[in-house]
Amino acid sequence: MPDATRTELDHDFVAPLADPGRERFWRDYLTLGFCIFAAESAAASLYLFLTPAGPNRSVLTTMATVVAIVALLCIAPVRWVATQRWRTGFSIAWSVAASMVLATCAGLDGGLESPLLYLSVLPVIYTALAMQPWQVGVVGASTAGGILGVGLSDHDRAIPQESLFMFAAFVAGVVTLAIVAAVHRSRLQSGEEALMQELADRSVTDGLTGCRNHRAFHERLAEEVARAIRHQRPLALILCDVDHFKRFNDQFGHATGDQTLAAIGARLRACARSTDVLARIGGDEFAILMPETTTEAATAVSARIVALAPAGPGPSVEATLSIGVAGLDPAEPTAKRLLRDADRAMFSAKALGRGQAVTAVSDVRRPRPPAQPTLLGTEA
């Protein structure tokens, strides 16, 4: 089954943490935010220094200094924060806090007349660079709320009404543009990630049957064998081979043969679990790798597969399967031995008449019997 994909940068609650590219983005993104906030705090300190006659200068200077120091100190743990699942929530919380601090400073600096109020839109713009539209809306609402609070608390309002109107239009425009930009960025990113996921799926999927391909199967086989050894857990393998497939193709044509392989893949998917690895590992050979599964349980699955056979695109065109079942041998727990045991069991099923399943035990772990000659030549 294809894995669920992520469609947004901030879907960290479903995202695996071991993603260097994503972690690098968050490290740079958070660092940018802290650097800008520290720089704006330094600019605010310069503004306060150049306007010593304004209200609350000592308090505001202290706040600007503390905020700049905190922002610079927060740069140090950014690399660690970028690896955490709560990095999105942290960024949103920081942006909301920044908008509140800026609104508070503007209120202490004279209310609606303070030029510091214009800095309060920066968290909205910053959030729009990476967050979902609703998250941009949250930061935008906090910014608008902070500005509204400044306006309501400013009892000595000297700013002209037309200037106040233009400032409100400016804030509304910035918030609207930020949300719209986030919507379009999210859609574009979603489409790109869907395309990348499709390409990734195609690289490990057999186009005819929809099963995993040879390369993907052997990669998972090595991983599952190592995991079974590490955790001392069972691992089983089922190999399936279409009987007389060369004769089948010669009789019905390659197009019908392809349809039959696709039908067999669908039948096998109906018997496999979501945790199993179903793959087409050869022209007419399939494998089902079954983690956390004993040989006995895999034998029961192979019996269900045989019960579903014959398979084909129609009742008049059907093919049978020879099936071999093996479990990871504790005496020699290797992928090579597991494949060999299942392969020998499968050829024992062919030697016993085809269209059946054989489980690898000591009496079937013998050299592969020679293929039987037919009128159409030697074939499986």
Enumerate the active-site residues: 284
Q: Give CA separation, 370 vs 118, 347, 366, in Å.
A: 84, 9, 12
E strand segments, the chain: 235-242, 277-280, 285-291, 311-314, 317-319, 321-327, 357-359, 373-374, 377-378
Angle (CA) 1-278-299 rounded to 5° is 125
Number of Cβ within a 10 Å radius of residue 2: 11
Distance CA 61, CA 64 (A): 5
DSSP-derived 3-state class of residue 130? coil
Residue 346's nearest CA partner among 371, 328, 319 is 371
**Contact between residue 322 and residue 243 where contact means Cβ atoms under 8 Å apart:** yes
Which tokens is 60 given? Answer: 């505001």
Cis bond before residue 373 (omega within 30° of 0): no
Residues 139 and 123: their CA atoms lie apart, in Å, by: 7
Q: What span, in angstroms and rounded, lies between the C-alpha atoms of 25 and 132?
A: 16
278: its two tokens: 């179903």
CA distance to 1, 247, 324, 345, per residue, from 214 (Å)? 16, 24, 18, 20
User: What single letter denotes the amino acid at residue 224?
Assistant: E
- Among residues 347, 367, 366, the alpha carbon closest in space to that of 358 is found at 347
- Whether the Cβ atoms of residue 144 and residue 173 lie closer than 8 Å to each other: no
The one-letter amino acid code at 220 reads: R
Return the C-alpha torsion angle 278, 280, 281, 284, nearest 10: 130
Q: How buried is 113 (Cβ within 10 angstroms: 0-12 exposed, 13-18 middle, 19+ buried)?
A: middle
* Beta strands at 277-280 and 373-374: parallel, antiparallel or unpaired: unpaired
